[in-house]
Amino acid sequence: MKKYSKQLLALVICTLVLLALLPTMAYAAEGDVCEINGVGYSTLNEALEIVQDKDTIKLLANIDHDYIFINGISVTFDLDGQYTLNVGGLSATYALVVADHGEVKLLNEIIGKAELNVTASYAVYTYSDSGYVALSNATCNNGNGVGVLALGGHVKVSGNVTSLVSGYEGVYATEGAVVEVGGNVGIAGSFTYGIFVEDGANVKIYGSVAGLFYGIYSAGSANKTLEVLGDVRGGIYGVWVRDASSMITIQGILIGSESGYIRIQDIVLMQFEHEIISTKTGYLEYTDGVNFIWVKSIDPCAGGHDFSVLLEHVNATCEVDGYEIHKCSRCAETVLTTISAIGHDWNSGYVIIEPTPWSEGIMEFTCNNCQETYTVILPKLSVNSISADAFVEKLNGNKNNLIISVTELVNNEESYGQTAVTYTALFSINNNAAGIYQVGPYNVYVNTKGNTQIREIYIVDFPC
């Protein structure tokens, strides 16, 4: 008996030692992936089944888990600065769901090293009565889902909200939900709406936001506040505010499309159509009096305008300048460019009235472009020399033919040479006749002898 008792005592002691060592052994136990209050668990599921309000689940390894539902309790995940908890998966509809004042807190999170990442069609889903939910990255990975679906509560994403497929919204926040995203929303993926805010939502994005259709979409009548520290880009509108009333502040650049920059209810505004006076210093204001969108007033043309939009073109004529008006593609600035008159293209001219030694001529020039004409006076031809010559043709009887010619040598204006002009006339004369005969414009004295010889010939005068 004694011996047995000793054995029993030994067993009890041994058990006590074992019990004393148990937490340490659990901590060190191989195959445990997490612990709560020093008790190790080989799967996260086991830990989640017994976790109590305000417990901390400390990771002992990287964990892949399909679904976490936190209902009515506050749970802290301690990532120990080195472990990552991936929740969700390829075909998951929901990854992290929080309801009934439930909370998810993170300890020792290091982005890029120790993260809580959720991936599903609806990666994060908070009920209207949920509390504070912290995570690292939310990814929508199948079928028209949402990165962060916040129907309430306060969701803080340290990293990015991304879509791997065509998702509806990067962040959807309503019913007073507060959502903060430390990184970007929808930059690396294709959400239809980058941010969709409804009644009472308050969203702050520290990175940039992009949506296939709209960077930011706001609906519902209760006040909504949204601030983006980075850029916002929308494939149709950068921002579309459908109802009242939204206060949206964009610290970076807002990028819309040719369809519009901002749409407020049914008014579509281009980038330059901001209020002349802003109620927020340093921001361009777009408003309908109920909704306000403030975009940091970075001059899109600080580096120069882009005058690539042709508004008007008027051709230059020969005498009148033409012009073009171009508008900047980024602002309302226009520039007028003069197109110099092309000038007449005169042909080499035609003489329409020939000049003579006694009368001026007229030369006409015509423009090959516009058919306009002008004329110049051609001066009278100057006569360099005049000479007269005659001979007698002997006929039967006492009648003879007298043929007189007068030759002018005149300066030719066109050829700059001399032209010989000859006038010839025939007269019937008696033998050895003398007389004055008109030959062309000249009167010529001719005296003949010996029937056919010319005794004397000279020009008497000019007729005009």
Pairing between β-strand 178-181 and β-strand 154-157 as defined by DSSP bridges: parallel
Chain-centroid distance, C-alpha 147: 30
Closer of 305 and 449 to Zn ion (Cβ): 305
Q: How many chain residues bind Zn ion (CB under 5 A)? A: 11
Residue span binding Zn ion (CB under 5 A) among the ranges 25-33, 326-334, 357-365, 441-449: 326-334
Q: What is the DSSP letter of 30?
A: T
**Least Å distance between CB 296 and Zn ion?**
17
**Least Å distance between CB 353 and Zn ion?**
23
Secondary structure (3-state) at 97: strand
Residue type, 371: Q
List of residues 6+ apart from 95 with CB closer than 8 A: 67, 68, 87, 88, 89, 118, 119, 120, 122, 123, 124
Residue 331 makes contact with Zn ion by CB under 5 A = yes
Chosen residue from 226, 264, 284, 328 binding Zn ion by CB under 5 A: 328
Chosen residue from 64, 100, 312, 333 binding Zn ion by CB under 5 A: 333
Closer of 242 and 305 to Zn ion (Cβ): 305
Closer of 268 and 331 to Zn ion (Cβ): 331
**Least Å distance between CB 370 and Zn ion?**
3
**Least Å distance between CB 287 and Zn ion?**
22
**Least Å distance between CB 229 and Zn ion?**
25
Closer of 333 and 461 to Zn ion (Cβ): 333
CA distances from 438 to 76, 408, 443, 455, 463 (A): 136, 15, 4, 18, 9
DSSP codes, 41-85? ESSHHHHHHH--TTEEEEESS-EEES-EEEESSEEEEE-TTT--E
List of residues 6+ apart from 272 with CB closer than 8 A: 330, 331, 332
CA nearest neighbour of 316 among 294, 333, 298, 337: 337
Secondary structure (3-state) at 340: coil
What mask, x for binding Zn ion by CB under 5 A, covers residues 356 to 395? -----------x-xx-------------------------
Closer of 39 and 316 to Zn ion (Cβ): 316
Closer of 128 and 373 to Zn ion (Cβ): 373
**Least Å distance between CB 305 and Zn ion?**
4
Residue 318 makes contact with Zn ion by CB under 5 A = yes
Chosen residue from 204, 296, 305, 380 binding Zn ion by CB under 5 A: 305
**Least Å distance between CB 334 and Zn ion?**
10
Residue 284 makes contact with Zn ion by CB under 5 A = no
Pairing between β-strand 122-126 and β-strand 94-99 as defined by DSSP bridges: parallel
Residue 330 makes contact with Zn ion by CB under 5 A = yes
CB 405, CB 424: distance < 8 Å? yes
CB 379, CB 359: distance < 8 Å? no
Closer of 53 and 319 to Zn ion (Cβ): 319
Closer of 303 and 397 to Zn ion (Cβ): 303
**Least Å distance between CB 299 and Zn ion?**
8
**Least Å distance between CB 238 and Zn ion?**
17
Cβ atoms within 10 A of the Cβ of 114, count?
22
Residue 296 makes contact with Zn ion by CB under 5 A = no
**Least Å distance between CB 68 and Zn ion?**
51
In the beta sheet, which residues pair with residue 374? 365
- Helix, strand, coil percentages for the chain (3-state, nearest 5): 5, 50, 40
In the beta sheet, which residues pair with residue 138? 118, 161
What mask, x for binding Zn ion by CB under 5 A, covers residues 335 to 354? ---------x----------
Point out which residues bind Zn ion (CB under 5 A).
301, 305, 318, 328, 330-331, 333, 344, 367, 369-370
